[in-house]
Structure 1
Amino acid sequence: MARKVTIEELRQMAEDARESIWAQAKEYGREPKIYLHWSAGHYETVFDDYHVNITGNGEIYVTGDLDEIKAHTWRRNTGAVGISLCCCYNATSADLGPEPPTAAQIEAMAQAIVAVADGLWLTIDEAHVLTHGEAADNEDGLWTHDSYGPKTTVERWDLEYLGTDESPKYNPWATDGSRGGDVLRGKANWYRNEE
């Protein structure tokens, strides 16, 4: 059952789960990960596949404990936390559909990244915080599976772009910081430095 939480409650949940999540990740010879998603659903529909769901108005919901192994990122779920924006119903790489990411969701996701990363003692970089699209293309160098992301088969391309001025269009080869993951990590690091 989903329950609404504050950023501080989310940070505490991550702290409480730190030892367990690190132990899970170490079984696979790596550090914990945070994977960022969109649900491809509606603004108010929360899914149990993700630890954290952020609704259209930026409210944060959790579905269980953060060290629970959920089905959010293929072959990468152990020792990882999945955070999802509830949005992008009927999205395509050319159009984010009638329910694109909202400004409130994007800012809440950046703050949620900080809360979870702080609780788990993680650096906010592409080695630890990836969109599903980046993980699908093994951009962190793990190679736990054949690539299936925006640079290859485009089976998963969650958050490749956000539909904002900072991240206006689908371009998985962009190096100017306009990819969705770059924008979200940048915002998260800004929030972390403001604290």
Structure 2
Amino acid sequence: MRKVTIAELKSMAEQARQSIWDAAGSYDRVPKIYLHWSAGHYGQFFSDYHVNIDADGSIYVSTDDLSEVKNHTWKRNTGAIGVALACGVGSGSQSLGNEPPTAAQIEAMAQVVCALADGLWLTISKECVLTHGEAANNEDGETGYHNPYAWWNDSYGDGDTRGDLEYLGTDESPSYNPDATDGSRGGDIIRGKANWYRQQEDNK
């Protein structure tokens, strides 16, 4: 793992942009940024994700080439970047466990999303930026790769479901509610923050 700055991460995304767009285009889709928690401990990083974010908000990459295909989001890995918060051991729909997402991690993830989206020329919308739970539920409208396997929509009936970052345990996103339409779902919060960071750049 290599520690990087937001500026370095944006530069890496710019360098990988064409390769990522070409790879995504081979599946007739746009590039995606998928947001995860690792379900591990603070300080514990995994090479399945291109970007790992520690409890203090520090950012680490597992590769020097963001177009490298990694195994982070089932049947959606080509032309995509996986970003994970190093947290969430023991987390589930009822509790985020003893190592929940920290405020520093959430803010860093929003900045990472902004940097990657800027580098890849992507909108910061659910079409391009999804939590693993949202992707598992096909909430970008891409239904040709798998049936839903979200915590709240286990179409396979095997219990092998995902709900990463569906809620954050913060005042803005206090509890599990996948039916929420008030912007309190974890993905809505992170995309909103990322768009705020993008707006600050535009105002410079």
3-state SS of 1:73 partner? coil
- Residue by residue over 1:31-56, the C-alpha shift from the partner in whole angstroms, topping out at 9 and shown as x without a partner, is 10000000000010010000000001
1:166 pairs, out of 166, 172, 175, with: 172
Pair 1:99 & 2:105 matched: no
Q: How many residue pairs are counted as aligned between the two chains?
A: 194
Aligned mates of 1:92, 1:158 — CA distance in 2: 9
**Structure 2 partner of 1:191:** 197
1:105 counterpart letter in structure 2: Q
Aligned mates of 2:32, 2:110 — CA distance in 1: 15
**Structure 2 partner of 1:14:** 13
- Residue by residue over 1:91-139, the C-alpha shift from the partner in whole angstroms, topping out at 9 and shown as x without a partner, is 1211100000000000000000000000000000000000000000000
**Structure 2 partner of 1:54:** 53
Q: Taking structure 2 as the reference length, what is the TM-score of the superposition?
A: 0.94
Structure 2 residue runs without a partner (length 5+): none
Alignment of 1:83-162 (within 5 A): 83-143=83-143, 144-153=145-154, 155-162=161-168
1:108 counterpart letter in structure 2: A
Pair 1:34 & 2:33 matched: yes
3-state SS of 2:150 partner? coil
Aligned mates of 1:85, 1:117 — CA distance in 2: 18
Aligned mates of 2:18, 2:96 — CA distance in 1: 37
% identical aligned pairs: 66
Aligned mates of 1:148, 1:73 — CA distance in 2: 12
Contact 1:53/1:62 (CA < 8 Å) preserved in 2? Answer: yes
Aligned mates of 2:52, 2:150 — CA distance in 1: 22
Runs of 4 or more, structure 1, over 3 Å off, are none
Aligned mates of 2:51, 2:41 — CA distance in 1: 15
Q: Taking structure 1 as the reference length, what is the TM-score of the superposition?
A: 0.98
Once the two structures are TM-superposed, the CA of residue 70 in structure 1 deviates from its matched residue by: 0.3
Once the two structures are TM-superposed, the CA of residue 187 in structure 1 deviates from its matched residue by: 0.3
Give RMSD over aligned pairs: 0.7
Aligned mates of 2:107, 2:67 — CA distance in 1: 24
Aligned mates of 1:162, 1:13 — CA distance in 2: 28
Once the two structures are TM-superposed, the CA of residue 150 in structure 1 deviates from its matched residue by: 3.0
